[in-house]
Amino acid sequence: MLLTGFGIYWILSSQVIASFTVLMPELLRETATGTTLVFVTGIFVSTVGLWMINVDLDELSALLFRKDGWMFTIPLLLVSMDISLTTGGLTYGVGIVELNPFVSAAVQKGTGTLAAFLIAYMALSQGGALLAISAGRFLFGRGTGEFLPYSLVCGAASFGPLSNLVLLTGLGEAWSTLLAGALGASLFGTWVYSRLRFSSADRALGSNLTEEKRSLL
């Protein structure tokens, strides 16, 4: 998913802002060869990602069938919320400007480009979440700490939607919006970790009780 998201992102950026990074949008704008190289690289990376995506889909399917499976759709929910608030703010907000040139260009290009950007954004977010879960298992094993990196990713990802939500309410200045987003992201990440930690502890306890019953039999 991560490779697919990156590939679609590079394909879009080569056509929308002629650069593969929003940090330097002028990098390849005047270079046709460079823009073509980014476009071709995007096609190659997305193709490789689609070829390997069944591994991520199997992992995601196993996670969704857990008792707390809905918790692993949080990255997708945050992406949808972020895009909705961003487009709503740009359309109806007064004096609201999108600082990310890629997002701004995608919105201006219309529904088709925005839909492709949404797919790329979702693939990047969900792929990054699955990578964080794998990292947690590598660092902490299968236990209460395995979802710590995932919780941190969810907390960081919630900063944008939460800050946009506060901004659209018009309840505060820019600095208070950032502060509210940072505080909300910290609390949200903590909540995600707490839910998954207790769920993992319950699963471990249930497994131990099952093993004890089997040993008694």
Q: What is the pLDDT of residue 107?
A: 74
pTM for the predicted model, two decimal places: 0.80
Q: For residue 30, count other CB atoms closer than 10 A to its CB.
A: 9
- Would you say 157 and 78 are in contact if contact means Cβ atoms under 8 Å apart? yes
Q: Is the dihedral of CA 40, 42, 48, 54 positive or negative?
A: negative
Of 205, 197, 66, nearest to 140 (Cα)? Answer: 197
Domain span at residue 146 reads: 2-216
Q: Is 96 left (phi over 0), alpha (psi -120 to 50) or beta?
A: beta
Q: Determine the length of the chain.
A: 217
Distance CA(5)–CA(201), nearest Å, equals 33
Distance CA(86)–CA(84), nearest Å, equals 5
Q: What is the number of structural domains in the chain?
A: 1
Distance CA(194)–CA(66), nearest Å, equals 16
H-helix segments, 17-158: 32-64, 74-92, 101-109, 111-140, 148-157
Regions of the chain where pLDDT drops below 50: 204-216
Distance CA(72)–CA(150), nearest Å, equals 9
Specify the amino acid at residue 31: T
- Would you say 125 and 79 are in contact if contact means Cβ atoms under 8 Å apart? yes
